Amino acid sequence: MKTKKAGKKRINIITLGCSKNIVDSEVLMGQLKANNLEVYHEGKIDENTSVVINTCGFIDNAKQESIDTILEYSKAKEEGRIAKLYVTGCLSERYKPDLEKEIPNVEEYFGTRDLPQLLKSLGAEYKHELIGERTLTTPNHFAYLKIAEGCDRPCSFCAIPIMRGKHISKPMEEIIKEAQGLARQGTKELILIAQELTYYGFDIYRKRKLADLLRKLNEVEGIDWIRLHYAYPAGFPMDVLDAMKDCDKVCNYIDIPLQHISDKLLKSMRRGITADKTRDLIKTFRKQIPGIAIRTTLILGYPGETNEDFELLKKFITDVQFDRLGVFQYSHEENTHAFQLTDDVPESVKEERVEEIMELQRGISGKLNQLKIGSTQKVLIDRLEGDYYIGRTEHDSPEVDNEVMINANGQYTRVGDFANIRITAAEDYDLIGKLV
Ligand code: SF4
Q: Would you place residue 320 in the very low, low, confident or very high pLDDT band (cuts 50, 70, 90)?
A: very high
Summarize pLDDT for 100-149 with one digit per residue, the tens. 999 999 999 999 999 999 999 999 999 988 878 899 999 999 999 999 99
Cα of 156 from ligand 1 centre, angstroms: 9
Q: Is 234 helix (H, G, I), strand (E, B) or coil?
A: coil
* Mean predicted lDDT score pLDDT of the chain: 96
Cα of 217 from ligand 1 centre, angstroms: 25
DSSP H stretches of helix in 152-271:
160-164, 172-184, 202-205, 210-217, 239-246, 263-268
CA 285 to chain centre: 22
Summarize pLDDT for 143-158 with one digit per residue, the tens. 999 999 999 999 999 9
Q: Which pLDDT belongs to residue 129?
A: 87
Query: Given a cut of 60, is residue 47 above it in pLDDT?
Result: yes
Q: What is the mean pLDDT of residues 352-358?
A: 98
Q: Does residue 151 line the site of ligand 1, with CB under 6 A?
A: yes
Query: Given a cut of 70, is residue 354 above it in pLDDT?
Result: yes
Q: Does residue 160 line the site of ligand 1, with CB under 6 A?
A: yes
Enter the pTM of the model: 0.95
Cα(168)–Cα(183) distance, integer angstroms: 24
Pocket test for ligand 1, best of 149, 195, 197, 265 (most atoms within 8 A of CB): 195
Q: Would you place residue 46 in the very low, low, confident or very high pLDDT band (cuts 50, 70, 90)?
A: confident
Q: Which pLDDT belongs to residue 6?
A: 56
Atom of ligand 1 nearest to the CA of 152: 6
Atom of ligand 1 nearest to the CA of 154: 7
Burial environment of residue 211 by CB neighbours within 10 A (0 to 12, 13 to 18, 19 or more): buried
Query: Given a cut of 90, is residue 351 above it in pLDDT?
Result: yes
Could you tell me the sign of the dihedral formed by the alpha carbons of 172, 175, 181, 182, in that order?
negative
Q: Would you place residue 1 in the very low, low, confident or very high pLDDT band (cuts 50, 70, 90)?
A: very low
Cα of 20 from ligand 1 centre, angstroms: 13
Cα of 30 from ligand 1 centre, angstroms: 28
Q: Does residue 155 line the site of ligand 1, with CB under 6 A?
A: yes
Q: Is 39 helix (H, G, I), strand (E, B) or coil?
A: strand
Please provide the size of the chain in residues. 436
Q: Does residue 244 line the site of ligand 1, with CB under 6 A?
A: no
Between residues 5 and 330, the one the model is more confident about: 330
Strands 388-392, 376-385: pairing kind: antiparallel
Cα(349)–Cα(369) distance, integer angstroms: 30
SS3 annotation, 148-184: EECCCCCCCCCCHHHHHCCCEECCHHHHHHHHHHHHH
Burial environment of residue 152 by CB neighbours within 10 A (0 to 12, 13 to 18, 19 or more): middle
Q: Does residue 434 line the site of ligand 1, with CB under 6 A?
A: no
Contact by Cβ (8 Å): 157, 206: no
Residues 6+ apart with CB under 8 A from 343: 303, 330, 332
Residue nearest to atom 8 of ligand 1 (CA): 158
